[in-house]
Amino acid sequence: MTPHNLLVELLVEELPPKVLEKLGNAFASVLAEQLRASGLATAQSQVTAYASPRRLAAHITGVAHKADDKAVQQKLMPVSVGLDAAGQATPALLKKLQALGADVADPAAAVAALKRAPDGKAEALFYDNLQAGATLAEGLQKALLEAIAKLPIPKVMSYQLQTDCELPGWTSVNFVRPAHGLVALHGSEVVAVQALGLKAGNSTRGHRFEAAVDPVRLLDADSYAAQLREQGSVIASFAERKAEIVRQLAAAAAVLGGGVRPIDDDALLDEVTALVERPNVLVCEFETEFLDVPQECLILTMKANQKYFPLLDDAGRLTNRFLVVSNISPQDASAVVQGNERVVRPRLADAKFFFDQDRKKTLASRVALLDKVVYHNKLGSQGERIQRVRAIAQAIGRQLGGDALAEQADQAALLAKTDLVTDMVGEFPELQGTMGRYYALHDGLSREVADAIEDHYKPRFAGDALPRNPAGVVVALADKLETLVGMFGIGNLPTGDKDPFALRRHALGVIRMLVENNLPLQFNELVNIAFAAFPDRMLGEAHSDVSMFLFERLKGYLKDGGYSPREVDAALNAPAMSVWADIPQRLVAVRAFVLLPEAPALAVANKRIGNILKKALEVDPHVSELLLKETAEIALYAAMKDIVPAANAQFDAGDYAASLQTLAALRAPVDAFFEGVMVNAEELDLRLNRQGLLKSLHLAMNRVADLSRLAA
């Protein structure tokens, strides 16, 4: 029979908005995957996922009524088990064949139909059978149950359904939300499947309030989206609904003029798309007096609590207008507009009240309150933590900018957490740091200190901006190092995908600040400074664990930047690598070196030299010209006297690429040395001198990177 398109829909109560798109995609993809596995759909079948607040659906093209029959060869048992000495079928073989539906009335004929083939060391019997293809009802039933079982449901709820029988009763069902309808259409025919206590039909429900027809009886699988839109007032496609919201938001802002634009927030857009079935964007406003409150507070309360889209002017400043995505489209929308304006007003008033109250107390007066805020039961209060951060910040500040920067960073570190005990941050924890900056400026503190208070949390996530001034960098480093050292010191290590204290993010922040700000700080010394800030016996010995954790994150950071594992390993394993600031320049140099024709041979030679020196244990890099006997070793020493000083001068000037390119000229004398010189000569003085020559060469070649790591 000719394949038809298939439509499956689950009608449910309002689904969790933050995972709706993921649920819709998972439902459709697993359904199609299972149908392909059963032979009912093909690789060319097109899959369209639908997801609205009250439904998950999938449209799959080219689905067959029945899968093709297929020949299956099944291993039965070893020949020694299935046949006796006379070659006759054993009872075990006959029983197995009977279970498979084979005709065993004539045992000899049944045996003759079997195939014998090697199976490992023994020979086995195989049975060829024609397996009937699954019907659509069978295959879809299995696929539907699998798709439901594999939904990435954040939290399952249990509810009761009335059973469909003569005697009244109830059955318990577990699903993300109560399900009320199931549609399964193959072309225009209903497929007899059931799930979640529901039997499939051909009708669904439209918009709760604005559907023109209820229920919507679907003509066939292909008319699903169009009928829902026209008769049910529902845009079933998540992507289409999202695009429509974006279009309406832009259109509403354009009508207002003045260059206003809705705030750009993909997460908010996705969530609102998951809350409405047919969007209708409306313009609302609030009193201008609320604009005296920091706009971050107003924007957060409008987005987080009300799911509104604040409007910004062309300079990025908040205006007193905002956009609402309504789920209804009345002819007169004034009541909807006024209702939303009435709802948002108390939220904004609360924010203004918190802001006004918080400014009555200085940040400095709140420092003592941090002693009552528990940071961690093994690490003390936030007040104790601040003292540790101050100590680390002072030490780093002195290294980077002397006493002036140390003093500035110390002041910022002292006040960095004080906004945690303000009313505003108590209501909106997401504003920690941001409010600290506003309150610091209100208290008359310098802009550098105020910016450092806000920026000490940065970078908060991958791709986030770094602190904008040196004091902010110092306090951010101190804060993150204190967290890393403290948590490692008490054994709170990240495991697998679990990282409750965001230690990976803190480590990446430290790495980015050191590398991207080109800071001349030794990372091992930073770890020691951080450990020294903690009281004796508070932490276990974890110096090496913290260093290794940072080092592994550094590798990942560099690889994410486009460098190969071999390039990264070479740059990070240079013998004197302790400052991470120049790693990018080293990597650029390594990449340029790899392209040189001399690179492969020098990398192999460098690896060979390393192995020789490792076996020789302690080697003095001193070379006596009087002990150079062979022509090749004399030539190598002479080349090194010309080339190595030039390469070292380029290295000291920071021109790592030029240094490696200069060293590439040693390829010919190095090759000649290994071809014509016996390093481990029997004479002790010759052996030690040649080892010293190789040691000198090894030190010179590996200043930029460990070239042996580049050997194939």
Kindly state the tokens that stand for 125. Answer: 């019997």
Q: Tell me which of 615 and 273 has the higher pLDDT.
A: 273
Secondary structure class of 272 (helix, strand, coil): helix
Residue 166 predicted with pLDDT over 70: no
Q: Check residue 517 and give its pLDDT.
A: 95
Q: β-strand 216-217 against 203-204: which pairing, if any?
A: antiparallel
For CA atoms 614, 618, 621, 625, give the dihedral sign.
negative
Instruction: Report how far residue 437's alpha carbon sits from residue 108's, in angstroms, rounded to the nearest whole number.
Output: 92
- Checking 621-625 for CB contacts under 8 A at 24+ apart, the result is 621/692, 621/695, 621/696, 621/699, 622/692, 623/689, 623/692, 623/693, 623/696, 624/689
pLDDT at 167 over 80: no
* 3-class SS of residue 309: strand
What CA–CA distance (Å, rounded) separates 621 from 145?
A: 72
* Residue 85 CA from chain centroid, whole number: 64
Q: Please give the Cα distance from 188 to 180 (Å, whole number).
A: 21
Over the stretch 71-111, which tens digit does the pLDDT of each residue have? Answer: 677 788 888 887 888 888 888 888 888 887 777 788 888 77
Q: Cα torsion at 454, 455, 461, 462 (round to 10°)?
A: 160
Cα(239)–Cα(642) distance, integer angstroms: 67
Q: What is the pTM of this model?
A: 0.81
- 3-class secondary structure for 581-616? CCHHHHHHHHHHHHCCCCHHHHHHHHHHHHHHHHHH
Identify whether the C-beta of residue 676 lies closer than 8 Å to the C-beta of residue 630: yes
Q: What is the pLDDT of residues 276-333, one digit of tens each?
A: 999 999 999 999 999 999 999 999 999 999 999 999 999 999 999 999 999 999 999 9
Assigned token pair, 199 = 């039997």
Q: DSSP for 59-121, please give it.
A: EEEEE-SBPPPEEEEEEEEEHHHHB-TTSPBPHHHHHHHHHTT---SSHHHHHHTSEEEEETT
Q: Cβ(79)–Cβ(116) under 8 Å?
A: yes
Between 96 and 181, name the one with better pLDDT. 181
Distance, CA of 33 to CA of 146 (rounded, Å): 10
The residue with tokens 């190969």 is: 564
Under CATH, which architecture does the 364-562 domain have? Orthogonal Bundle (1.10)
d(CA 318, CA 309): 11
| Tokens linked to 628 | 């150079």
605-628 burial: b if 16+ Cβ within 10 Å, else e: bbbbbbebbeebeebeeebeeebb
Reported confidence tier of residue 1, pLDDT bands at 50, 70, 90: low
DSSP state of 333: T
C-alpha to C-alpha distance for 602 and 99, rounded to whole angstroms: 68
Tokens of 362: 């200085």
Closest Cα to residue 453, out of 479, 483, 427? Answer: 479
Q: Which two tokens stand for residue 174?
A: 């577990």
For the residues 254-277, what does the mean pLDDT come to?
A: 95
Residue type, 160: Q
Query: Alpha-carbon distance 712 to 44, whole Å?
Result: 42
Mean pLDDT on 527-545: 93
488, 545 Cβ separation under 8 angstroms: yes
Residue 494 dihedral angles phi and psi, to the nearest 5°: -70, 145
Domain ranges of the chain: 4-66+135-230, 70-131, 238-358, 364-562, 583-710
Classified by CATH at the fold level, domain 583-710 comes out as: Isoleucyl-tRNA Synthetase; Domain 1 (1.10.730)
Is 55 within 8 Å of 236 (Cβ atoms)?
Answer: yes
The pair of structure tokens assigned to 704 is: 């930029």
Reported as a pLDDT band with limits 50, 70 and 90, residue 512 is very high
Neighbours of 530 (CB within 10 A): 29
Amino acid at residue number 572 = L
Average pLDDT over residues 368-384: 95
Say yes or no: do domains 364-562 and 583-710 share a fold.
Answer: no
pLDDT reading at 239 higher than 90 = yes
pLDDT, tens only, 515-533? 999 999 998 999 999 999 9
Please, are residues 485 and 379 in contact by the beta-carbon 8 Å criterion?
no
Q: What is the largest CA-CA distance in the chain?
A: 110
Which stretch of 149-163, 207-221, 654-668 has the lowest confidence by average pLDDT?
149-163
CA proximity to 508, closest of 453, 433, 561, 470: 561
- The b/e string for 554-593 (b: 16+ C-beta within 10 A; e otherwise) is beebbeeeebeeebbbbbbebeebebbebbbbbbebbbeb
Q: Which of 467, 420, 429 is nearest to 448 (CA)?
A: 467
Distance of alpha carbon 201 from alpha carbon 391, whole angstroms = 70
Hey, what are 688's tokens?
């030690």
Q: Mean pLDDT, to the nearest integer, of 659-679?
A: 92
Among candidate residues 133, 107, 136, 113, the one with its CA nearest the CA of residue 125 = 113
**DSSP state at residue 296:** H
Q: How far apart are the first and last CA of the chain?
A: 58
Structure tokens at 575: 């013998």
Across the strands, what pairs with 130?
71
pLDDT over threshold 80, residue 70:
no
Beta strand pairing call for 55-63 and 4-12: antiparallel
State pLDDT tens for residues 583-638: 999 999 999 999 999 999 999 999 999 899 888 878 888 899 999 999 999 999 99
Check if the beta carbon of residue 546 is closer than 8 Å to that of residue 525.
no
For residues 74 and 52, give the distance between their C-alpha atoms in angstroms, rounded to a whole number: 46
Please provide the average confidence, as pLDDT, over all residues in the chain. Answer: 92
pLDDT of 644 reads 94
Could you report the per-residue pLDDT of 100-149, keeping only the tens digit for each?
A: 777 778 888 877 888 888 887 788 888 877 667 788 899 999 999 999 99
Under DSSP, the state recorded for 209 is T
Query: What is the Cα–Cα distance from 31 to 45, expressed in whole angstroms?
Result: 12
Q: How far apart are CA 197 and CA 273, in angstroms?
A: 29
The residues, ordered by sequence, that sit 6+ positions from 192 with a Cβ below 8 Å of its Cβ are: 137, 199, 200
Cross-strand bridge partners of residue 268: none
Least confident of 58-67, 78-87, 376-385, 548-557: 78-87
For residue 615 the two structure tokens come to 């076996």
